[in-house]
Amino acid sequence: MPAATMEEFEALLNESLEIATPQEGSVVRGKVLAIENGQAIIDVGFKMEGRVDLKEFAKPGHEPEIKVGDEVEVYLERVENARGEAVISRDKARREEAWDRLEKAYEKEERVEGAIFGRVKGGFTVDLGGAVAFLPGSQVDVRPVRDVTPLMGIPQPFQILKMDRRRGNIVVSRRAVLEESRAEQRAEVVARLKEGDVVEGVVKNITDYGAFVDLGGVDGLLHVTDMAWRRVNHPSEILNIGETVKVQVIKINKDTHRISLGMKQLQADPWEGVEAKYPVGAKLPGRVTNITDYGAFVELEPGVEGLVHVSEMSWTKKNVHPGKIVSTSQEVEVMVLDVDPVKRRVSLGLKQCLQNPWEAFAEKFPPGSKVEGEVKNITEFGLFIGLEGDIDGMVHLSDLDWDRPGEQAIQDYKKGDVVQAVVLDVDVEKERISLGIKQLDGDPFADAVAGVKRGDVVTCTVTAIEDGGIEVEYDGMKSFIRRSDLARDRQDQRPERFSVGDKVDARVTNIDRASRRLGLSIKAREIAEEKEAVQQYGSSDSGASLGDILSAALKERGE
């Protein structure tokens, strides 16, 4: 054979061997020859056989599906081992096949099918037909899922979020598939619905502020304020998860696909004709539903509540929390004070159903009546006395004592003392009662000046001598005669010419009952006596001296 022919034959032979002998690290097709000892014996051709564990032919959670005669693809790791058998793997073949398929799906952003088969830290493992992927816990569903058991082992679609073939990492999401499906479904449902429609739905979730109702692919929010006309403290009071309810579509946002629902809109509005049902001034029974810092809400009928402001709760308890006066669920009687049907507000009063204690006091204790009570408080301007009906009356400093200043007289009292007083005035509108303690005894000034009028001459007793005049006492009442009023003549206007205990006659020049002062003057008395003598005994123009006239007047008085 020529040399050229031999070289060509050798090349053809080598080429034939390269084509005929399978390459290690590749996927080859083989035929199951036998199944023994938990293994499948597979003929991969080229007079090569290998063994594969049966478990490699089983899907997660299932028995192996293989029998003699089946043709399968396996991964050729080595052409021959120590026993002269090919080293093959079904798992690796499936994995290589799966990776090729998954990479194409990932590039096209297509969904892939898989089954959840295990739990790992932070999520779950998913069999994607040969390749194992990681499913984070947050990507299982659109809402947190407490029990994933019903989802395990079931073929279902997933979306590949990221994959790295070199590291063998694949991350998938079931939530993305659900959200996409829900979005399509939501758009379809929203397009079909219109505001005002009455539809049925299933309560899927309950929160503090409302409930989410599934309308068949799209959720609507049923706010707690739209569940009933009456006050609903928590949605769980009237709804249960899984319950089928009839609702009305209140509002639809076509852009965000948000749907607002209502239940109370399917019922009659209790506020219609509320002014006629609850006229101002009417007294009605009600039930306390809620208590706040500023008052209490009272239900008049389901759906109609009124506010009793803290200022309308009690005649006497002004700075007390409403919870100290009423309690939740308490049945009370209230009076309608105002009705605003537009703002859906009813103002109620609790104290108006009770007698005004100031009116009751005024009827029972008119001015001049004597009362008794405990000193509740002492202030810089007087005493507060506790009275019948849980109200207070005030004794002003000026009404404590006739003679002493109020600042001094108030020192005689302390909290808890029981005292008597006289009612001076009752102002029902301003809720004020004026009392007096000094009025329990007669006014010494009034007694002293009783029957005394301006111009009268009274006899006083000198009690003190001062530079500016003398202090005198008349019928138990003190008065002061100034130096200029001690005598008609200037040389006699000397306080020292008087002595304590002297009796002096003085003319009443002023009676000031407001300031309780009696004005006295010896000088005025002397001038008045002189005028009287001149008129009675002659004029100095007639030739008689003033001394003669006064002598005659004094002589007549002496006789």
The predicted-structure confidence for 400-443, as pLDDT tens digits, reads as follows 888 788 898 899 999 999 999 999 999 988 889 999 988 888 77
Q: In the predicted model, is pLDDT for residue 555 greater than 60?
A: no
Instruction: Please report the pLDDT score of residue 159 as a whole number.
Output: 93
**Same domain for 240 and 292:** no
Please tell me the least confidently modeled range out of 85-89, 95-99, 165-169. Answer: 85-89
**Same domain for 532 and 452:** yes
Predicted confidence band of residue 507 (pLDDT cuts 50, 70, 90)? very high
Structural domain span for residue 525: 448-540
**Same domain for 521 and 490:** yes
Instruction: Please report the pLDDT score of residue 554 as a whole number.
Output: 54
Q: In the predicted model, is pLDDT for residue 71 greater than 50?
A: yes
CATH number for the domain harbouring residue 335: 2.40.50.140
- Residue 4 forms part of a structural domain: no
**With b meaning 16 or more CB within 10 Å and e meaning fewer, what string describes 296-335?**
bbbbbeebbbbbbebebbbbeeeeeebeebbeeeeebebb
Which of 390, 420, 440 is a domain's end point? 440
Which of 215, 245, 266 is a domain's end point? 266
Of 516 and 251, more confident: 251
- Residue 8 forms part of a structural domain: no
Instruction: Please report the pLDDT score of residue 168 as a whole number.
Output: 83
**Same domain for 380 and 425:** yes
Give the whole-number percent of the chain exceeding pLDDT 90. Answer: 28
Q: In the predicted model, is pLDDT for residue 494 greater than 50?
A: yes
- Residue 306 forms part of a structural domain: yes
Gap between the Cα atoms of 42 and 30, Å rounded:
6
Please tell me the least confidently modeled range out of 29-33, 286-290, 472-476. Answer: 29-33
User: Among residues 156, 133, 127, which one has the least CA distance to residue 62?
Assistant: 127
**Same domain for 432 and 455:** no
**Same domain for 234 and 200:** yes
Q: Per-residue pLDDT averaged across 46-75, rounded? A: 74
Instruction: Please report the pLDDT score of residue 1 as a whole number.
Output: 47
Instruction: Please report the pLDDT score of residue 82 as a whole number.
Output: 56
- Residue 46 forms part of a structural domain: yes
**Same domain for 400 and 322:** no
- Residue 99 forms part of a structural domain: no
Instruction: Please report the pLDDT score of residue 5 as a whole number.
Output: 65
Predicted confidence band of residue 445 (pLDDT cuts 50, 70, 90)? confident
Number of Cβ within 10 Å of residue 466's Cβ equals 11
Q: For residue range 319-371, what is the model confidence (pLDDT) as tens digits? A: 889 999 999 999 999 999 999 988 889 999 998 898 889 888 889 999 989 99
Gap between the Cα atoms of 247 and 220, Å rounded:
10
- Residue 546 forms part of a structural domain: no
Q: Per-residue pLDDT averaged across 10-39, rounded? A: 67
Instruction: Please report the pLDDT score of residue 546 as a whole number.
Output: 53
**Same domain for 430 and 382:** yes
User: Among residues 459, 464, 448, which one has the least CA distance to residue 518?
Assistant: 448
Please tell me the least confidently modeled range out of 76-85, 286-295, 346-355, 527-536. Answer: 76-85
Q: Per-residue pLDDT averaged across 174-190, rounded? A: 82
Q: Note the pTM of the prediction, 2 decimals.
A: 0.45
**Same domain for 294 and 332:** yes
- Looking at every residue in the chain, the average pLDDT score rounds to 83
Instruction: Please report the pLDDT score of residue 355 as a whole number.
Output: 86
CA-based R_g, the chain, Å: 56
Instruction: Please report the pLDDT score of residue 557 as a whole number.
Output: 54
Q: How many domains does one find in the chain?
A: 6
Of 79 and 25, more confident: 79
Q: In the predicted model, is pLDDT for residue 72 greater than 90?
A: no
- Residue 553 forms part of a structural domain: no
Instruction: Please report the pLDDT score of residue 282 as a whole number.
Output: 92
- Residue 307 forms part of a structural domain: yes
Q: In the predicted model, is pLDDT for residue 136 greater than 90?
A: yes
Q: Per-residue pLDDT averaged across 376-385, rounded? A: 91
**Same domain for 435 and 467:** no
**Same domain for 369 and 313:** no
Of 500 and 185, more confident: 500
Which of 178, 202, 224 is a domain's end point? 178
Torsion of the alpha carbons at 381, 385, 387 and 390, rounded to the nearest 10: 80
Gap between the Cα atoms of 189 and 183, Å rounded:
10
**Same domain for 452 and 522:** yes
Helix (H, G, I), strand (E, B) or coil at 179: helix
